Amino acid sequence: MTQTSERRPQGWSQTGKELLHPRVISMLFLGFSAGVPLLLIFSSLSLWLREAGIERNAVTFFSWAALGYSFKFVWAPLIDRLPLPFLTRRLGRRRAWLLTAQIAVMTAILLMATVDPALGPDSLTAMALAAVMLGFSSATQDIVIDAYRIESAPPRLQALMSSTYIAGYRIGMVAAGAGALFLAAHFGSEAGEYSYAAWRATYSVMACLMLVGLVTTLVVREPQTRGPKGHSYATIDYARLVAVFLLMASAFVGGFFFSGALFDDLKGSSGGGALTGFLWETLHFALAVATAILCGWLLVRLGALNRLMARETWIEPVLDFFRRYGLATAVLLLCLIGLYRISDIVLGVIANVFYQDIGFSKPQIATAVQTFGVFVSIAGGLLGGLLATRYGVLRILMLGAILSSATNLIFVILAHAGNELILLYLAVGADNLAAGLASAAFVAFLSSLTSVSFTAVQYAIFSSLMTLLPKLLGGYSGSIVNAIDYPGFFIFTTLIGVPVIILVWLAGKYLTMDGRTRRSGDKTT
């Protein structure tokens, strides 16, 4: 059990001053850098491919390029353990990896710009490879930024840094989403009038936007923290570590995709219901993880990797978490992490379809969701950071859990009212305000659980876990709606948020936080 004292609320003037702290401001620019790549793989790329005449089923396959975001915990241990030649000595552990990831992101975007997908299968393959590179390098950038944020500032600044990071991330997504589409149209590419030159220019501009993050990386200072606990190893040991990682990653991807047909058959034979499908998908993912773990264990047993190094890289980060909190509290925290965002993520999967089904036009949806909603979510994130700094993370975590669940009831009213524009803006505004506030508090909470001895690994596990179950369940949103209709679905999303409120309350009984949760004597500064 963690026993630290909750600090007293500080004044609003002090909170406002800390919002302008250089480290807090730096996260705005790093967040922007992290937000740019995502939509260049999803919506913007999808529209480019459709304008180029690529069939819809081939377009959707490109979403697999972003799997790195969900599975980044697989290679996060390398970020903590592996030094980069020359750069680590000159820039430090975090900035070296951050600069490398940002250069890789820029390179991948420029490679996509050099490919015209309309030229045939070979060009489409080249585009897919560049998109995979973008997904992998962007997820790597996320890993390093998360670790840098946690290590670079004291606990009192973590909530504000989380909120400015989220604000920057949202702005980056707007630039790469609406901004990219505006540029492509401005340069002369429209549906029915495809122009490769227009998309090439657009993606070249998007690559230049990454200079914001790159310059920030060169300007900020390296966190003054020790490297991971453990022994020093020879270069050959690090090379073997990378080789074993690549084999484990291959086993994970192979296990996941090659067993896909089997699990599709199992879901079909079990009736195809939403609940059974969700359970089969959870087992599917667990099998892929087990395949990677078994592959790594066999390679270590066969002597492909130093056993001590393997333990320090993959086992110690997990054991450290359970040692610091104990089994019961650690399980409670993992349940909270895995379920906290479930209410709004499951609803968000089908929200746009719902808006269209009740009669709103695409321009109305785009204005409400992509413009108004984004700005409200940014405001909600900043508000969440300020409130968490003022009143403490756990209190705002509870507020976010309550609001995320309760605001879904507005969608029940909208479902009954139908095409009412004022209600649409009310629902979108309330949902995004709650999501922004909850996200800022939750990111600060996750940061507080992370030990600086294993920052990248532990936070990557947390951030992957927080979206895994909600996304799996969200995939069955359509089936749930078909079974119980929209009003019943929105009541369902409200009710699944109630256990989260209970989990936050239980966490408050076991944990008292001052920005970062620590055991007495734990040196996680």
Residues of the chain with pLDDT under 50: 1-6, 513-525
Question: What b/e sequence results for 395-415 when a residue is b if at least 16 CB atoms lie within 10 Å of its CB, and e otherwise?
Answer: bbbbbbbbbbbebbbbbbebb
Instruction: Tell me the per-residue pLDDT of 86-118, one tens digit each, with 9 for 90 and over.
Output: 898 899 989 999 999 999 999 999 999 999 998
Q: What pLDDT shows up at residue 274?
A: 60
Question: What b/e sequence results for 464-495 when a residue is b if at least 16 CB atoms lie within 10 Å of its CB, and e otherwise?
Answer: bbbbbbbbbbbebbeebbeeeebbebbbbbbe
- What is the DSSP code (8-state) at residue 83? P
Do residues 77 and 89 lie in contact, with contact meaning Cβ atoms separated by under 8 Å? no
Burial class of 288 by CB neighbour count within 10 A (0 to 12, 13 to 18, 19+): buried
Task: Find the angle CA(165)-CA(171)-CA(177) to the nearest 5 degrees.
Answer: 135
Q: What pLDDT shows up at residue 515?
A: 35
Helix 374-391 to helix 158-174 angle, to the nearest 10 degrees? 170
- 104 vs 85: CA distance, rounded Å: 16
Q: What pLDDT shows up at residue 2?
A: 39
Report the SS3 class of residue 222. Answer: coil
Residue type, 354: F
Q: What pLDDT shows up at residue 60?
A: 53
Rounded to a whole number of angstroms, the CA Rg of the chain reads: 23
Contacts of 488 (CB under 8 A, 6+ apart): none
Start-end of H helices in 175-229 = 180-186, 196-209, 211-219
Closest CA to 388 of 81, 24, 37, 85: 24
Write out the two tokens for 203: 């993606």
Q: What pLDDT shows up at residue 1?
A: 36
Q: What pLDDT shows up at residue 152?
A: 86
Residue 190, strand partner residues: 193
Q: How far is residue 186 CA from its own chain's centroid?
A: 31
Report the SS3 class of residue 520. Answer: coil
Closest CA to 149 of 138, 136, 139, 162: 162
